[in-house]
Structure 1
Amino acid sequence: MFFKRKPPTRRYTIGFYNLENLFDTRNDPRTLDDDFTPDGVLHWTPKRYRNKLYKLGKAIAHTGRETSRRSPVIMGLAEVENRMVLGELLKSKHLSDKGYEIVHYDSPDERGIDTALIYRQKYFEVLDQEAVPLIVNSVNGMRDYTRDILHVTGLLNGERIHVIVNHWPSRREGEEDTAYKRVAAAAGVHRIMDRVRETEDAPRFIIMGDFNDNPFSKSIREHLLSPDLFNPMELLLSHDKGSASYNFKWNLFDQILFSRDFMVTEAGKHSYVEANIFNDRFLTEWTGRFKGNPFRTYAGRRYLGGYSDHFPVYIQLELNM
């Protein structure tokens, strides 16, 4: 019996995914990437690299597809080493026929990991792009060379939007001791938005990233969120659901916020439909004490061969006719 494939809907998925150290296998003398080489402590071989590309491609291609019946039209990414790994990711089995293009800049991060954006040319046209440095100091007073903020302006099905991709400073030196860095990052995002507002009336923003803070953290709730922004991720975090787990506690560091104008239905423009964490079973640990957690590539130095230590998150917008 022949089953006709259902056509795509007017829903469009916009997602974000922390890829957990998508490194190539070559040593870059300018960055601290020695662990991710065949002779490094993680024994990062071409075979392991190819396996990760395949799996990440599968995860991206399926994000939001069940309801939109198409792969994401825009996907923000974190923890990518360079443009080359992005190009090889887009050549992987599940993405090679989707028509994705890349926005990427090398950042000053000491480990060499960057933010990036991939998008499907059929639906999104890039008009402008910039990498905005985030200047913060470490607790010792020295500059923290962290990831840039990526700002991309484009037309989504003809509608002008601004996408801002973030990977805020980590909690490695302690949550409270580093909170000021993430507050500074929130201020950096607002400077970008204010600059846009000087030249555009009622611009529409989509702000995404790994913020290394939860929806109700001070940096998000008090400094990033504003009356004209909505954060649907506040409704998703619970004791048994999140995008990443640490010490058996769920976090939702991966978030997507957007202008409240997306809550209004207007012909020719997009309106918000839903937000979710993409945590299908194939992305999870199937058994044991970590059952349900993201199936990650490494646990410490131990190779597991999974996807990432984060789940993708996404929102869906509907194009109103």
Structure 2
Amino acid sequence: MSIPSQSFEQYTVAFYNVENLFDVVDDPHVFLDEDFTEFGRKNWTENRYLKKLSKISDAISKIGFESTGKLPAIIGLAEVENKKVLNDLIQQPKLVNTKYDFIHYNSPDERGIDVALLYDTTVFKPTHSEPLHIHLEDEKGVRDTTRDILYIEGTLAGTPVHVYINHWPSRRDGANATNDKRLSVANQLMSHVGHKDPNSKRNENHLSKEDAHHIIIMGDFNDDPDNDSIKKGILPHGFDNPTASLKNFHRGSLNHNFKWNLFDQIMISKSLHNDVPNSLYFHKADIFDDIMLRQWKGKYRGQPARTFSGRNYKGGYSDHFPVFAVFRKN
């Protein structure tokens, strides 16, 4: 007889690319920021901004809820503009009663979009955070700016964890032409992992909660699980990709030209497959692709209900579905 899930102490870890969560104020230091103003190319009004906040907060409040009965413990976010939008987000009615706080650093990305972490302060206790600056150069040796990786150390339900939140270089100039950029980011990420865990404790699943080195890598990698940056750049260094099996012909976290991709992924160190007393361990992963987040009709039926299609305002949630993992406590 199966044991009811309510018998376990469970926590949701999620990642969500929220598709250009900008406020309505023009920041002169941001290249494309003026597009997201009332008289900019996107005609981004206060009403549209508030509607976006409401929808994103509604989605976050439901990620993993069927499994755990509570809101996510931590949520990595991509495509947020600044601290203001994060503060406005956690003040939304669907989130305000959960004691969320956030960690965010401005990055050098020319679009003005960053990654961030939302976390339930009653469950996750950060002890250190920093942006990991990514160094890329074009063929002429000129610095190519991209998003920083956000690194956070802390305890999740009492278990020490190391969390990396990523948004890797896009495929805008072609997947093959930009492949080396994502491979370079993977190498720089693994260099930091090796520096923090020189004894490769991430590979061990029998160490005590205090001695283990548990790592969660999440993000929009702009690559699928079978691409080199993931398959060769990360997994051989002591990691599993529990989200990889979620991708198939009919399912993914985003859809481009009627083809599903799973750019949004959560990878975990092998140490999180354990039966160590009082430690967290991985239980399952999924895509939160509920009907509420989908296009309901037309030729794009079933795809993510996005906020914009080009310059055309659609009023949806995001062009990505969130992904999540559920962890249980031994």
TM bracket (short chain): over 0.9
Partner in structure 1 of residue 165 of structure 2: 165
**CA 1:227/1:110 → structure 2, altered by over 3 Å: closer, same or farther?**
closer
Does 2:84 correspond to 1:84?
yes
Partner in structure 2 of residue 262 of structure 1: 272
Q: State the distance in 2 between where 1:111 and 1:178 align.
A: 17
Runs of 4+ in structure 1 deviating by more than 4 angstroms, as ranges, are: 6-9
Q: State the distance in 2 between where 1:291 and 1:8 align.
A: 38
CA deviation vs aligned residue, 1:175-197 (integer Å, no higher than 9, x gap): 11110110011011111111111
Query: Is the contact between residue 11 and residue 68 of structure 1 (CA under 8 Å) also seen in structure 2?
Result: yes
- Superposed CA RMSD in Å reads 1.4
**Post-superposition shift, 1:263?**
1.2
Does 2:59 correspond to 1:59?
yes
CA deviation vs aligned residue, 1:66-85 (integer Å, no higher than 9, x gap): 11101100000000000110
Q: State the distance in 2 between where 1:315 and 1:270 align.
A: 12
Unpaired stretches in structure 2, ≥5 consecutive residues: 202-210
Partner in structure 1 of residue 254 of structure 2: 244
Query: Is the contact between residue 190 and residue 237 of structure 2 (CA under 8 Å) also seen in structure 1?
Result: no
Partner secondary structure for residue 169 of structure 1: coil
**Post-superposition shift, 1:261?**
1.4
Query: Is the contact between residue 6 and residue 68 of structure 2 (CA under 8 Å) also seen in structure 1?
Result: no
Query: Is the contact between residue 288 and residue 324 of structure 2 (CA under 8 Å) also seen in structure 1?
Result: yes
The equivalences for 1:195-274 within 5 A come to 195-198=195-198, 202-274=212-284
**Post-superposition shift, 1:139?**
4.4
Partner secondary structure for residue 214 of structure 1: coil
Q: State the distance in 1 between where 2:121 and 2:177 align.
A: 42
**Post-superposition shift, 1:8?**
8.7
The equivalences for 1:133-148 within 5 A come to 133-148=133-148
Query: Is the contact between residue 8 and residue 68 of structure 1 (CA under 8 Å) also seen in structure 2?
Result: no
Give the number of aligned pairs: 315
Query: Is the contact between residue 8 and residue 70 of structure 1 (CA under 8 Å) also seen in structure 2?
Result: no
Partner secondary structure for residue 288 of structure 1: coil
Does 2:279 correspond to 1:280?
no
Partner in structure 1 of residue 115 of structure 2: 115
Partner secondary structure for residue 232 of structure 1: coil
Partner secondary structure for residue 34 of structure 1: helix
Q: State the distance in 2 between where 1:142 and 1:23 align.
A: 28
| TM-score (structure 1 length as normaliser) | 0.95
Query: Is the contact between residue 8 and residue 69 of structure 1 (CA under 8 Å) also seen in structure 2?
Result: no
**CA 1:7/1:262 → structure 2, altered by over 3 Å: closer, same or farther?**
closer
Q: State the distance in 2 between where 1:84 and 1:58 align.
A: 18
Given residue 41 of structure 1, which amino acid in structure 2 is its aligned partner? R
Q: State the distance in 2 between where 1:8 and 1:114 align.
A: 38
Query: Is the contact between residue 52 and residue 306 of structure 1 (CA under 8 Å) also seen in structure 2?
Result: yes
Larger mean CA deviation between 86-95 and 222-231 belongs to 222-231
Q: State the distance in 2 between where 1:195 and 1:182 align.
A: 20
Partner in structure 2 of residue 304 of structure 1: 314
Larger mean CA deviation between 236-245 and 260-269 belongs to 260-269
**CA 1:58/1:18 → structure 2, altered by over 3 Å: closer, same or farther?**
same
**Post-superposition shift, 1:34?**
1.3
Q: State the distance in 2 between where 1:139 and 1:120 align.
A: 43
Does 2:160 correspond to 1:175?
no
Given residue 83 of structure 2, which amino acid in structure 1 is its aligned partner? R
Does 2:327 correspond to 1:317?
yes
Query: Is the contact between residue 206 and residue 259 of structure 1 (CA under 8 Å) also seen in structure 2?
Result: yes
**CA 1:300/1:140 → structure 2, altered by over 3 Å: closer, same or farther?**
farther
| TM-score (structure 2 length as normaliser) | 0.93
Query: Is the contact between residue 19 and residue 318 of structure 2 (CA under 8 Å) also seen in structure 1?
Result: yes
Q: State the distance in 1 between where 2:108 and 2:180 align.
A: 20
Q: State the distance in 2 between where 1:257 and 1:177 align.
A: 25
Given residue 299 of structure 1, which amino acid in structure 2 is its aligned partner? S
Q: State the distance in 2 between where 1:77 and 1:8 align.
A: 30
Query: Is the contact between residue 137 and residue 143 of structure 2 (CA under 8 Å) also seen in structure 1?
Result: yes
Partner secondary structure for residue 226 of structure 1: helix
Partner in structure 2 of residue 3 of structure 1: none
Q: State the distance in 1 between where 2:50 and 2:264 align.
A: 25
**Post-superposition shift, 1:141?**
3.6
Partner secondary structure for residue 72 of structure 2: coil
Partner secondary structure for residue 102 of structure 1: strand
Q: State the distance in 1 between where 2:52 and 2:139 align.
A: 34
Partner in structure 2 of residue 26 of structure 1: 25
CA deviation vs aligned residue, 1:254-285 (integer Å, no higher than 9, x gap): 00000111111221101111000000000000
